[in-house]
Structure 1
Amino acid sequence: MPETNVSFFSRLSLAIGTFFTILADREFAAGVLRLREGAAPVAAAPQAPTAAAPVIKDTGPDAALQLLGLLQREARLIDFVEEDIGSYGDADIGAAARLVHEGCRKALREHFTIRPVREEAEGSRVTLAENFDAKAIRLTGNVVGKPPFSGSISHRGWRVEDVRLPKLTGSHDATVIAPAEIEL
């Protein structure tokens, strides 16, 4: 049932929006004119089916916080990123980066199975068929026309095949990714 008690500001907003739509859309204007003359509105022509809107998933932060905690524990990643490295020499930074790299790699390999999206070497020439997976492959450069597309792999991409994060107890506070340490 239509709303009969529309506020002044709602009517004003509707009038302004309708005014500009009438100016921009000839068919809409004709429909408004028919309504003003007392004629029934013309049924809209059937539209071609459109793709369903993507579903937005609401995810909690616990898994991300858990991964951040693992990277801190194994690689001291947050310590490294939060450190002001301006006063250190390149050799010191390189040595620290090597330790962080090794720890991050260990944590990722222990808790994830990660494989390349494309098996070919970077720089290889490939042709993408019409039905290529646009979620797994991003086209860059001069993208015009329709598939098939031919180009060179500039990055193989990564896909997670398995996740093995530890189970969390109900009392675990995932926001504490590294507890403070007090030496006595």
Structure 2
Amino acid sequence: MPRPTPSFVRRIGLAFSVLFQPELAARLQQLRDGDLPAGPTADRPSASGAAPAATPALRENPPGAALQLIGLLQREARFVDFVQEDVGAYSDADIGAAARVVHEGCRKVLREHFSIGPVRSEAEGSRITLAEGFDAAAIRLTGNVVGKAPFTGSLSHRGWRVTESRLPKLAEGHDASVVAQAEVEL
């Protein structure tokens, strides 16, 4: 049975995940290249040999906050302009110069509107042990995942968690889907 197409907001969230999680981007590339199976299915067990867990109930998120964030990133970093541009014809130096401007603006938006801290406090590369009942929503196991906790491994990425969000309030009737107004010079 085919999976339903993710909502627009979910696709935005996935795009940000790919942008800011190099491991996920690498897995996606492997999947697109046919080098990695899509993951456990009802007729194929997971790496641990166990049947896949039941799919949790999904809820639709209102798109306002995600669209507002894209608008802020566009205003401060020209993020949408940069991502929508076909950069194939540009030199690496040109792309690098543009990326520096985009990076600076994105960083400004994140610092101004969010408090973000690491999921794990240990240094990347540290050996850590995850006890039974660890927060699987905050920690993803990679590599040869077999058996059950406790798991011992190397921390390859500390992760990030938003601890506070300070998005501006929107006026009634504001169309958050317009993340950058068209400009007409007179």
TM-score by length of 2: 0.68
TM-fit CA distance, 1:139: 0.9
CA distance in 2, matches of 1:90, 1:134: 38
CA distance in 2, matches of 1:176, 1:124: 44
Q: Secondary structure at the match of 1:86?
A: helix
Q: Residue 99 of structure 1: which of 92, 98, 101 is its match?
A: 101
**In structure 2, what is the equivalent of residue 145 of structure 1?**
147
Number of residue pairs the alignment of both structures matches: 134
TM-fit CA distance, 1:75: 0.3
Q: Secondary structure at the match of 1:173?
A: coil
Closer, same or farther: CA 94–52 of 1 in aligned 2, 3 Å: closer
1:175 partner amino acid: S
| Partner deviation per Cα, 1:18-60 (whole Å, 9 max, x = no partner) | xxxxxxxxxxxxxxxxxxxxxxxxxxxxxxxxx9984433211
Q: Residue 77 of structure 1: which of 79, 103, 119 is its match?
A: 79
1:61 partner amino acid: P
| Partner deviation per Cα, 1:56-77 (whole Å, 9 max, x = no partner) | 3321111110000000001000
TM-fit CA distance, 1:124: 0.7
| Partner deviation per Cα, 1:120-163 (whole Å, 9 max, x = no partner) | 11111001111211111111111112211100011111111111
Runs of 4+ with >4 A deviation? none
Q: Residue 120 of structure 1: which of 122, 140, 150 is its match?
A: 122
Closer, same or farther: CA 56–154 of 1 in aligned 2, 3 Å: same
1:84 partner amino acid: D
The question of 1:156 aligning with 2:158 is answered yes
2:145 partner amino acid: V
The question of 1:134 aligning with 2:107 is answered no
TM-score by length of 1: 0.69
CA distance in 1, matches of 2:109, 2:66: 14
| Partner deviation per Cα, 1:84-138 (whole Å, 9 max, x = no partner) | 2222211111110000001001001111111110111111100111121111111
**In structure 2, what is the equivalent of residue 57 of structure 1?**
59
**In structure 1, what is the equivalent of residue 89 of structure 2?**
87
Q: Secondary structure at the match of 1:95?
A: helix
Q: How does 1:1-40 map to 2 (within 5 A)?
A: none
CA distance in 1, matches of 2:135, 2:90: 45
CA distance in 2, matches of 1:87, 1:146: 49
Q: Which runs of 5+ in 2 are unaligned?
A: 1-52
CA distance in 1, matches of 2:104, 2:175: 27
CA distance in 2, matches of 1:86, 1:120: 39
CA distance in 2, matches of 1:147, 1:52: 19
